[in-house]
Amino acid sequence: MSTLTIKNISKQFPGTLALDDVSLTLKSGKVNALIGKNGSGKSTLIKIINGVQPPTSGDIFIDEDKISFANPEEAIQKGVSTVYQELSLVGGMTVADNIFLGRYPMNGKFIDWKKTYRETRELLEGMGIEIDAKEQINNLSMWQRQMIEIAKAMSTNPKVILLDEPTSSLSRSETQILFNLIRGLKTKDVIIIYISHRLQELWEIADTCSVLRDGRLVGSADMADLSRKDILSMMFGDMKTEKRPEDVKSTDEVVLKVEGLTSGKRFSDINFELKKGEILGIAGMLGSGRTELLRAIFGSDRYGSGKVFVNGSETKRATPFKMKELGLAMTSEDRKTEGLIQIMSIEGNLCVASLKRMSKGAFIDKAAESRMVAEQVENLEIKAPNLRSEVSSLSGGNQQKVVIGNWLNNKPTIMLFDEPSRGIDVNAKHQIFNIIWELSRQGVSSIVVSSEIEELLEICHRILIMRYGKFVDEVSDAATTVEHLYSMCMGENEDESPRADSADSADSADSADTLAGMR
Amino acid sequence: MEIHGLNRKTVNNIFRKYMMEIILVVMFIVLSIFAPGFLSSDNILGIFRNMAIVGVIAFGMTMVIINGEIDLSVGSAIGISAVATAIISRRLAESGFSDAFALIIAMLAAVAICSLIGMFNGFIRARFGIPTFIITLAMLNVLYGIAATWSAGFPVVINSGWYSFIGAGQFFKTESFQGIPAPMIWLIIVFFIIWIVMNKTRFGREVYAVGGNIEAARLSGINIAKVKIITMMAVQALAAFSGIMLSSQVMAGSSQFGRGYEMDVIASVIIGGTSLFGGVGRAWGTFIGILFLGVINNCMTLLGVDDYIKYIVKGSLILIAVLINTIQLQRKDA
């Protein structure tokens, strides 16, 4: 048996103390859950354990040996493997290739393929994975890839394996298969650290649970001794949400109606109405289908079936170009690669969506352009020394404001915000909330998608909760607490018996689960 | 000290921004002194005349490359256009139309044919997402084959006195002045048109946006397919015009016209500072690139450099230009 000891670890970032004197002991043969909401410091702790960044102070020991790594590669060599939620497999190569990439068994100058395949087969069999070593990754489904990812991590015989939200993109039945694999790891002498946002999973898979909040370890105990309430109160503590100003009101006029919208496995049977001036929240964890839903409504992804009505008329074969004409706007969750043109100026980025509005015929009306740019810079309080410099020179918050300003220049009537507050500081966050409220006062409706649920409670009139691609509940802000919302999103429900549906196919299991959740 | 440092930085920036202009001026001065015959109005105007064929396409290519695409088939498009003009005008003349009418219709037809080719290239790109590098590499061969088959491999003669004016005429000719070559005038007109499109119009902005980040542009409600198709059409239409100029200089159309010209076109654009990664570039830069390449060609001719050596020099120039652009980009990121 081996032990991972984390001793007085602190991590200071400019402006924030991400980890504050965290000490923790984890043992092999157990699944050790590490949880905490966004910004609690759990990602930082993981990065310190697997060598992505060094701690400011404190030490880490495996058994008696003090460990420190210059980089993640060294960490892997010395026995700390990480399975990230974004898969890192090479699609066009085989399972065996992926497992032995960069360290193939050699026969002189040549790769010893026989040995490569034999060792891959042994590894997979040993873990009870029934996938052919010569299968191409592209032919595998998500959960199979996730298993290969874990097999790859185990192939280096690690002492510590970090599983970072391995189930976030899996359905219920697939999750069960993965859990069986993880349970199998417990018989090996490896310290398993399991990070998840799906609270209900913890009682199924984890043996111990450690909770971080605001950079501090608030508790660590055996799962058997913990109730749902214990964990929620450890995660959130006494939290207060701020209130939306009284004069931000919704009306009765329906501007957007979605009927039975379905897109394969991503989401299904989505129904809702959005009123003029209303701010509607969609709460859901990563992989719940929230981003996919927003993209489908905006026409940037195709959907299978269902209808979308804007101001009463149905939209057919929607594209962002058509939806823009109808008055919709969307800010992407990934502003760096989808929201902004990095090599363009701040000015230029504020005018991409609204080129038509600032043109006379084919020509750009320079006066209109500079007027509109100036308006957004002033109203959104975009802090930029020079509007001609590249947009990438701005801080995250100001970049997000440029993304929003780009759309506001087009005078939309419905704004879709995907994670508008991701990666920006508290001040900028509140400025963005104020923008959303101000839009509502002007009669612009908004849909806000976020995994930071306390934010939604603050901003929105109404919140729809999304889980496994379906709306499972609707709440209005007045009657709800953050804990309740989080537990709804994380799919935690005491009546549920997760094992019961594990034999069913993914989709039917999901719908059964949803019905149980609705009751 | 600080002021000195600031000055140095400003000087550095100016040098970096106008590097090609400065190099061009230095080259000009050096050649004026050392290359006999360089500094004469005949020679200078000749540079423009020679570069016009490549130059008009280069301005279209600037749009295409800023848009994040490329068109390798423009060389063959020159051939198609020249052959089309010659054959169509001859057929029309044979069926009783006047020479002038036949040629005008033939020229319009050549431009239309090449525009359709560009539309096809752009459509395949937009609809199926196949890189234009591959599409137009294939089309380079297909179009050459079509032109050669159509003309049965022989040059087709054009008989019309005034037609030669397009490629070989002069404006403002006096007794003491040989006149400005017509191709130079066309080159400058095309430069202004492309400059206005890229700097003053909505479409120009859309080209920059799509080339800068295609997904961000799409999510901003820009019609990506339209932008791609129009730019691919524009470069082909300009290649058709080049084919017309070339056939007018020779008074014949041949499928051999324009073979390998795509290299000079792309070289001018890249030397002019347009980024092969898309989103960055200027029509003015391409203008400088064209002159630069023209001056290099000219001085090699004046100095009697072997034709084969010219290939080595021009190929190396492309590589050096790309290297300089890339290194500057990396420095900026660091």
B213 contacts A337? CB cut-off 8 A = yes
Q: Which is it for strands B156-157 and A363-364: parallel, antiparallel or unpaired? A: unpaired
Cα separation, A484 vs A477, in Å, equals 11
Listing from the earlier edge strand, what are the strands of the sheet with A31-35? A80-83, A160-164, A191-195, A31-35, A208-213, A216-222
Q: What is the 3-state secondary structure (H, E, C) of A260-307?
A: EEEECCCEEEEEEEEECCCEEEEECCCCCCHHHHHHHHCCCCCCCEEE
Kindly indicate the confidence band of residue A484, based on its pLDDT and cuts at 50, 70 and 90: confident
Cα separation, B319 vs B307, in Å, equals 19
Residues in chain A closer than 8 A to B203 (CB atoms): 362
What residue spans define the domains of chain B? 23-28+36-155+197-333
Residue B244: what residue type?
I
The pLDDT of residue A333: 86
Instruction: Tell the residue number behind the tokens 């970096």, with chain if given.
Output: B16
Kindly indicate the confidence band of residue B14, based on its pLDDT and cuts at 50, 70 and 90: confident
- φ, ψ of residue B160 to 5 degrees: the values are -165, 120
Name which of B200, B210, B218, B220 to mutate to probe chain A: the one with the most chain A Cβ atoms within 10 A of its Cβ: B220
Nearest CB to B219: which of A330, A363, A410?
Answer: A330
pLDDT in tens, A43-77: 889 989 988 889 999 999 998 888 888 888 888 88
Kindly indicate the confidence band of residue B127, based on its pLDDT and cuts at 50, 70 and 90: very high
The contact set of B with A (CB < 8 A) is 200-203, 205-206, 208-209, 212-213, 215-223, 279-280
| Closest residue in B to A393 (Cα–Cα) | B333
Tokens describing residue B298 = 């000219």
Nearest CB to B212: which of A341, A353, A356?
Answer: A341
Return the CA Rg of chain A: 25
Within 13 Å and on the Cβ side, how many CA atoms surround A57?
A: 6
Q: Average pLDDT for residues A188-199, to the nearest whole number?
A: 87
Q: Which is it for strands B156-157 and B252-253: parallel, antiparallel or unpaired? A: antiparallel
pTM of the model: 0.81
Tokens describing residue A55 = 């701690």
3-class SS of residue B183: helix
Nearest CB to B279: which of A325, A343, A364?
Answer: A343
Residue A499: pLDDT over 70 = no
Residues ≥6 apart with Cβ < 8 Å to A233:
A483
For residues B38 and B298, the answer to whether their CB atoms sit within 8 Å is yes
Cα separation, A2 vs A334, in Å, equals 40
| Closest residue in B to A357 (Cα–Cα) | B202
Nearest CB to A356: which of B202, B219, B280?
Answer: B202
A 344-363 near B (Cβ less than 8 A): 344, 348, 351-353, 355-356, 359, 362-363
Nearest CB to B209: which of A325, A338, A341?
Answer: A341
Q: How far is CA B209 from the centre of its chain?
A: 22
B279 contacts A352? CB cut-off 8 A = no
A325 contacts B215? CB cut-off 8 A = no
Which of the residue ranges A134-143, A391-400, A453-462, B69-78 has the most confident prediction, judged by mean pLDDT? B69-78
B216 contacts A340? CB cut-off 8 A = yes
Q: What is the 3-state secondary structure (H, E, C) of B294-308?
A: HHHHHHHHHCCCCHH
The pLDDT of residue A496: 38
Q: B232: distance to nearest CA of chain A, Å?
A: 19
Kindly indicate the confidence band of residue B333, based on its pLDDT and cuts at 50, 70 and 90: low
Name which of A302, A355, A400 to mutate to probe chain B: the one with the most chain B Cβ atoms within 10 A of its Cβ: A355
Cα separation, B205 vs B279, in Å, equals 10
Which H or E run contains B95? Answer: none
Q: A518: distance to nearest CA of chain B, Å?
A: 35
- Other CB atoms within 10 A of residue A495 CB: 7
Residue A336: pLDDT over 70 = yes
Residue A292: pLDDT over 80 = yes
Cα separation, A184 vs A327, in Å, equals 53
For residues A327 and A302, the answer to whether their CB atoms sit within 8 Å is no
Kindly indicate the confidence band of residue A515, based on its pLDDT and cuts at 50, 70 and 90: very low
Tokens describing residue B270 = 């890249």
**Domains recognised in chain A with CATH numbers:** 3-236 (3.40.50.300), 241-327+413-519 (3.40.50.300), 338-411 (no CATH)
Residues in chain A closer than 8 A to B68 (CB atoms): none
Of A86, A188, A84, A81, the C-alpha closest to A128 is A188
Q: B209: distance to nearest CA of chain A, Å?
A: 7
Of A450, A445, A418, A417, the C-alpha closest to A256 is A445
Q: B218: distance to nearest CA of chain A, Å?
A: 7
Nearest CB to B218: which of A320, A340, A363?
Answer: A320
What is the average pLDDT value for chain B, to the nearest integer? 92
Tokens describing residue A410 = 């087009």
Residues in chain A closer than 8 A to B217 (CB atoms): 341, 352
Kindly indicate the confidence band of residue A6, based on its pLDDT and cuts at 50, 70 and 90: very high
Crossing angle between the packed helical segments B261-271 and B74-94, to the nearest 10 degrees: 130
Which of the residue ranges A484-488, B12-16, B107-111 has the most confident prediction, judged by mean pLDDT? B107-111
Residues in chain B closer than 8 A to A417 (CB atoms): none
3-class SS of residue B29: helix
Instruction: Tell the residue number behind the tokens 């066309």, with chain if given.
Output: B186
| Closest residue in A to B197 (Cα–Cα) | A363
Residues in chain B closer than 8 A to A298 (CB atoms): 219
The pLDDT of residue A9: 93
Nearest CB to B218: which of A300, A348, A406?
Answer: A300
Cα separation, B192 vs B161, in Å, equals 29
3-class SS of residue A168: coil
Name which of A344, A349, A350, A415 to mutate to probe chain B: the one with the most chain B Cβ atoms within 10 A of its Cβ: A344
Kindly indicate the confidence band of residue B4, based on its pLDDT and cuts at 50, 70 and 90: low
- Note the helical H segments in B153-181: 164-168
Q: In this complex, how many residue pairs, one in chain A and one in chain B, have their CB atoms less than 8 Å apart? A: 76
The pLDDT of residue B332: 65
Instruction: Tell the residue number behind the tokens 């006999």, with chain if given.
Output: B36
- φ, ψ of residue A299 to 5 degrees: the values are 85, 5
Residue B3: pLDDT over 70 = no
Residues in chain B closer than 8 A to A325 (CB atoms): 221
Tokens describing residue A460 = 């929105």
A341 contacts B213? CB cut-off 8 A = yes
Cα separation, A295 vs A301, in Å, equals 6
| Closest residue in A to B226 (Cα–Cα) | A321
The pLDDT of residue A17: 83
The pLDDT of residue A481: 72
Listing from the earlier edge strand, what are the strands of the sheet with A267-275? A267-275, A254-263, A305-310, A313-314
Q: A512: distance to nearest CA of chain B, Å?
A: 35
- φ, ψ of residue A10 to 5 degrees: the values are -130, 150
Q: A184: distance to nearest CA of chain B, Å?
A: 42
For residues B143 and B117, the answer to whether their CB atoms sit within 8 Å is yes
Instruction: Tell the residue number behind the tokens 């020179």, with chain if given.
Output: A393
- Other CB atoms within 10 A of residue A412 CB: 22
**Range in A126-140, A227-241, B254-268 with the lowest mean pLDDT:** A227-241
Residues in chain A closer than 8 A to B334 (CB atoms): none
Kindly indicate the confidence band of residue A286, based on its pLDDT and cuts at 50, 70 and 90: confident
Q: A69: distance to nearest CA of chain B, Å?
A: 25
Question: ipTM of the assembly?
Answer: 0.84
DSSP state at residue A244 = P
Instruction: Tell the residue number behind the tokens 């999103």, with chain if given.
Output: A489
Nearest CB to B213: which of A321, A342, A410?
Answer: A342
Cα separation, A4 vs A1, in Å, equals 10
What is the average pLDDT value for chain A, to the nearest integer? 85
DSSP for A444-462, please give it. Answer: -EEEEEES-HHHHHHH-SE
pLDDT in tens, A423-436: 777 778 888 999 99
pLDDT in tens, A444-462: 999 999 877 778 888 899 9
B200 contacts A341? CB cut-off 8 A = no
Tokens describing residue B11 = 């000087």
Residues in chain A closer than 8 A to B281 (CB atoms): none
Kindly indicate the confidence band of residue A506, based on its pLDDT and cuts at 50, 70 and 90: very low
Residues in chain B closer than 8 A to A359 (CB atoms): 201-202
Residue A221: what residue type?
A
